[in-house]
Chain A
Amino acid sequence: MLLIKGGRVIDPASGRDETGHLVLKDGKVREFLGGEAPARFEGTVVSAEGMWVVPGLIDMHVHLRDPGYEWKEDILSGTRAAAAGGFTSVVCMANTNPVNDSPEVTRYIMEKARREGCANVFPVAAVTRGLEGKEMADFSELAEAGAVAFSDDGKPVENSLLFRRAMEYVRPFGYRILSHAEDSVLAGGGAAHEGWTARKLGIPGIPSAAEEVAIARDILIARQTRGKLHIQHISTRMGVDLLRMARRAGLDVTGETAPQYFTLTDAALEGYDTNAKMNPPLRGEDDRMAILEGILDGTIDAIACDHAPHEAYVKRCEFAAAANGIIGLQTSLPLSLSLLAEGKIGPGRIVELLSAGPARILRLQGKGSLAAGADADVTIIDPEAEWEFRPEEVLSRSKNSPFLGWKMRGRAAATICGGRVRHAAIAGVTADA
């Protein structure tokens, strides 16, 4: 039994935003109590005064690199970083080695996560065998083993006919396909957003159209097949516009963006900073503004950080040769909280983007809500905490982040997963072993 006392309980899924107390029991939310806290309580008491108590955060786009690239990250280190960042669940992509295109790999991930993970891990399996874009993976077997969705993330399903067939085939089963939307021919071997910075630095550009063309194709195929589609890591203005249009047309199309796309622009590449190299690339200021608008008006359903750990030396090299991607699990929450500063959205919307949204998109039962009977996944947020993201704070095996040295505001004071405290930065509370 665990009592979280005196916090501001924010749970958009059940329409709650009020100060009170939350009782967790047997891995579930037992009840919300208003008024005075119970005088006597058999169990652990966590005081959350001045803090927000929200459904456990869910990052629906991470790379845990396990199996196959455990020197970059593994399930233990990745979920530790997740817990420290306030995430009780992460959704991991299939570009492991071997690729998660077989139930054995799916089960390996799930079992390892159950054994040693500090957060729930939901695997996404490949759309095509070996991520090769040639033949469909065995969707049913993978779903039965525990895959929550399908994606070739890291690369697009280039072949439009195959993508159409996959969308059509899985539709009756209710699976959603998550699309890394990129026309890689149009991207033409670029390494940075095609804009002034890339021109000045002499870096080959990736035009915005490389993303937009692919999003448009995917949406049109979703329309043709009536399938469930999710657009990953949207980075462009027109990408947001296309998603908005799809939604208005009544299609089941959802979309995510990442904190880097509403926080940074391609200006971060000055000096050839390889920690600002990613795919899709950091875009221009107008794109950044459009991402913010998409978040404000509800077009964008989720914030997911695309956590992509890389060992130091694949970033410590000339820009063209550097690997794509950044870690993000420990910075996603504070960067998302910075959206509150403009005063246009409230904490409830942040919780939707980081918890209720992903749970709804992926139909994760018992997640994204603090209603009685929901899983006892709770994040306690100290919205005022000021801290610096220093290399020593990084719990991932890799430290590739453009946000190192940044002053942050707001952080996870405690992360409770299945009723167990997995991370605690509140006086008097210790993480369970």
Chain B
Amino acid sequence: MEWHRRHVLGLSDFHPEEMEFVIDTARSMEEVLTRDIKKVPALRGKTVVNLFFEASTRTRTSFEMAGKRLSADVVNFSSGTSSVTKGETLLDTARNIEAMKPNILVVRHSASGAALFLSRHVSCSIVNAGDGANEHPSQGLLDLYTILKVKGKVAGLKIAIVGDILHSRVVRSDLHSLGRMGAKLWLCGPATLVPREMERTGAVVTSDIREAVRGADVIIMLRIQLERQKTSYFPSLREYSQRFGLNRDVFSLAKDDAVIMHPGPINRGVELSDELADCERSLVLRQVESGVAVRMALLYLLAGGSHVAH
């Protein structure tokens, strides 16, 4: 298959074959990661800038690691506050970085649509590393990849995603990656955080975690952002954890070989009980592993690699 994309902004327009292609490439990349010297020269002389307007350690580190393993020069630009409050517009910031001639901008921003917006105004490639509540395509692909590794397929699996669906960009990418591959998706959480309109995606929407987990093959728990409690989306973390947390009791309703995933960082004892977070069915660290490989694949493909580097 030929790769024609200049940007990876979201998975909403990714065909299944295209996702499979990225994952095939990621598989080869993962092989590199098993070597003693975990570095290939594929992106030598290319520059990747991590342009992060929102706090993030793991995604930024993962992209940084991915770039470095491909021998790219990786530069991190972080801004805790949004560019607007500093007086510089997002576009001005991006154009300043662009003037330094990077090949790829990896962008994270709190506003939905920010990566798409930049892609219309700059000439380098853009990878969306999370834009508001819109998409987080590399997460959607790494979730798909992780499930494929363990289950061998996605079609026909019951996958429950539990937590703050409303504000989650992970969900919006997973709906494309997992949904388009034929998973039966269930979205679960407090009614204030699971919009009814999400039924339009074909997913089943519920506020009953037992119903969502019953017979599930995969359970993806989302981080509940602690500040949501302050804006009263639910009464308390205590109630949240009782109603929507995954513990041994609820997990026993799932299939015998069910697995647990979480995009991290985990609030132990809130959405996921301490023991489940570390149990042998938790794929949390496998997701992190897959993440580096998937991001290597995306950077590699965007930088013009068409065949797999060995």
Residues of A within 8 A of B (CB): 195-196, 199-205, 271-272, 313, 316-321
Contacts and interface: CB of A to CB of B under 8 A. Distances in A.
A318 B117 contact: yes
Contacts, number: 62
B111 A321 contact: yes
Given A199-B198, A203-B133, 8 more contacts: A195-B197, A200-B172, A202-B131, A202-B169, A317-B117, A318-B112, A318-B113, A320-B132
B22 to A, nearest CB: 22
A14 B121 CA distance: 55
Interface string B171-201: 0100000000000000000000001011010
B112 A317 contact: no
B134 interface: yes
Contacts of A318: 90, 109, 111-114, 117
Minimum-distance CB pairs A-B, first 3: A202-B133, A272-B113, A318-B111
Contact of B89 (A199, A204, A313): A313
A313 B90 CA distance: 11
Interface string B75-98: 000000010100001110000000
Given A199-B198, A202-B134, A320 B116 contact: no
A321 B198 CA distance: 25
Contacts of A317: 84, 89-91, 117
Nearest to B118: A318
Contacts of B121: 316
Contacts of A313: 89, 91
B116 A272 contact: yes
Nearest to A316: B91
B197 A202 contact: no
A128 B25 CA distance: 63
A161 B249 CA distance: 52
Instruction: Name the residue among A205, A316, A320 with the largest chain B CB count within 10 angstroms.
Output: A320
A393 to B, nearest CB: 24
B112 A320 contact: yes
17 contacts: A199-B195, A200-B172, A202-B172, A203-B112, A205-B195, A271-B113, A272-B112, A272-B116, A313-B91, A316-B121, A318-B111, A318-B112, A319-B112, A320-B112, A321-B89, A321-B90, A321-B111
B116 A321 contact: no
A320 B116 CA distance: 13
Contacts of B82: 321
Contacts of B89: 313, 317, 321
A184 B196 CA distance: 22
A201 B113 contact: yes
A379 B116 CA distance: 43
Contact of B134 (A201, A316, A321): A201
A285 B169 CA distance: 26
Interface in B34-61: none
Contacts of A202: 112, 131-135, 167, 169, 172
Contacts of A195: 197
Contacts of B84: 317, 321
Range class of the B interface residue count = 20 to 34
Contact of A272 (B117, B167, B172, B200): B117
Contacts of A320: 110-112, 132
Contacts of A319: 111-113, 117
Contacts of A205: 195
Nearest to A199: B197
Contacts of A204: 133
Contacts of B197: 195-196, 199
A354 B74 CA distance: 59
B27 to A, nearest CB: 30
Contact of B116 (A196, A199, A200, A271): A271
B105 to A, nearest CB: 14
Nearest to B114: A318
Interface in B216-270: none
Contacts of B195: 199, 205
A145 to B, nearest CB: 38
Nearest to A197: B197
Contacts of B111: 318-321
Interface string B110-139: 111110110001000000000111110000
Contacts of B114: 318
Instruction: Name the residue among B110, B112, B121, B134 with the largest chain A CB count within 10 angstroms.
Output: B112
A241 to B, nearest CB: 22
A202 B114 CA distance: 11
Contact of A196 (B117, B169, B172, B200): B200
Nearest to B113: A272
B2 to A, nearest CB: 25
A342 to B, nearest CB: 29
A201 B112 contact: yes
B103 to A, nearest CB: 23
A205 B82 CA distance: 21
A199 B171 CA distance: 11
A167 B135 CA distance: 47
Instruction: Name the residue among A202, A203, A271, A316 with the largest chain B CB count within 10 angstroms.
Output: A202
A187 to B, nearest CB: 14
Contacts of A200: 172, 200
Nearest to A188: B231
Nearest to A272: B113
B167 to A, nearest CB: 8
A276 to B, nearest CB: 12
